[in-house]
Amino acid sequence: MILQIPPALQAKSCVKENLIEVPKKPGCYLIWRGLQIIYVGVAGKSWTETNPKTSHLKHRLGEHFRATKSDVFPIMVFERFVLNYISELQIENITTGKMEIRHLARDYIREHLSFTFVSTDNFSDANKTEKFVRKGGLGDKPLLNPMD
């Protein structure tokens, strides 16, 4: 079953405070830049009701918003949206270790992107929904992670 994800007009800013309403359940989420879907993701592959661990929407979206080192999403954001706008001073700070590119990506994510999500108890439905969206099922394919 394809899950119904709220549209961009219902999106919330990618900030920690907006994670409060995100459940610790499997689901599918969209990251928006205005009305454009830039990324679609899924969470909850290892989730069970008795042992939710970190495999859930709240954890996955939190990783994106914090731009954790192990997360590829902030790197994609940096390469596509931030790289062309960094200053000489920022380049120097990055190359000398005073700043990390993930910090610039994190700031961009928090200032310019928003998210919507749908939760479920069935990871298979979330996974099908992610593939549907990545293949263009909602119109355009997501900018950062399209699928043929």
- 37-63 pLDDT, tens digit per residue, is 999 999 999 888 888 777 899 999 999
**Residues 57-90: tens digit of each pLDDT:** 999 999 999 999 999 999 999 999 999 999 999 9
What residue ranges define each of the domains in the chain, with the CATH number in brackets? Answer: 8-68+111-134 (3.40.1440.10)
- From 91, 118, 126, 114, select the one nearest 36 (Cα to Cα): 114
126 burial via Cβ count (<10 Å: 0-12, 13-18, 19+)? buried
